[in-house]
Amino acid sequence: MIDLYTWTTPNGRKVSIALEELGLPYEAHAVNIGQDEQFAPDFLKISPNNKIPAILERETGFHLMESGAILLWLAEREGKLMPKGDGKWEVIEWLMWQMGGVGPMLGQVHHFVKYNAGKAQYAEERFSKEARRLYGVLDKRLQGRDFIAGDYSIADIATWPWISRFEWQEIDLNDFPRVRDWYLRIAERPAVQRGYDQPKKVADIPLP
C-alpha cells in the first residue's frame, strides 16, 4: 500500500493519476498547503523540501518526494508507462521538459496572472509569453502523434494536469488544436478522472 501525501495542484495530481493508471492500491492524505501543513515536522520527514506530493510505501518504509522522481519510480517499479531502450529516454526527455519548463513557467502565470493580476505587468507579460511558447512547442510535438513520446506515458501524465488549468493561464486551446485534442483525449480516461479527484479526505494514518 502506498500513502500519497498531496493537494489539489497539478504536481499533486500527476502522482494520483499515475497510481490510478497503474491500478496500485493507495490512500491519499490531504496536505493543505493553504494552511502551511507542508511545514509540519512529520511531513518534513518524508519531504524535506516541504513540497507536495510525497509518497510512503507502508510495507518497506521507503519514501520519496518530487513528482518527477515519483513518476519515474512508479514506472520502473511496475514496468509500465515508460518503454525500454531509446524510447525510455524520449519519455525522460519530455518529462524533464515538463519539470524544467511547463511546471515552473505556468506556475508563475498562475501566481502573477490569476492570483496577483495588475501587480506586476512585466511579470505577467513575460510569463504569459513563455506559456504560449511552451504551448506552441507541445502543439508542434503532437503533430502526427496521439501522445508526447510514443505511447501514453508518464510524460503525458506529468504535463496534462498543468494544461488542464489553461483557463488560469488565459489560453484558448483552439489556438493550439493538437494540444486541445490531446488534452481531451486524456481527459476522457477513467483513471485520469479518478486521479484528478484527489485528495478526497484526510486519512488518519501517522507519518513515520
**What's the whole-model pTM score?**
0.94
Q: What is the pLDDT of residues 146-180, one digit of tens each?
A: 999 999 999 999 999 999 999 999 999 999 999 99
Strand order across the 54-57 sheet: 26-30, 2-6, 54-57, 63-65
Q: What is the pLDDT of residues 2-61, one digit of tens each?
A: 999 999 999 999 999 999 999 999 999 999 999 999 999 999 999 999 999 999 999 999
d(CA 110, CA 106): 6
**Alpha-carbon distance values, 52 to 16, 31, 122 (Å):** 12, 7, 29
Instruction: Kindly list the structural domains of the chain, giving each domain's residue range(s) and its CATH number in brackets, ordered by start.
Output: 2-80 (3.40.30.10), 86-189 (1.20.1050.10)
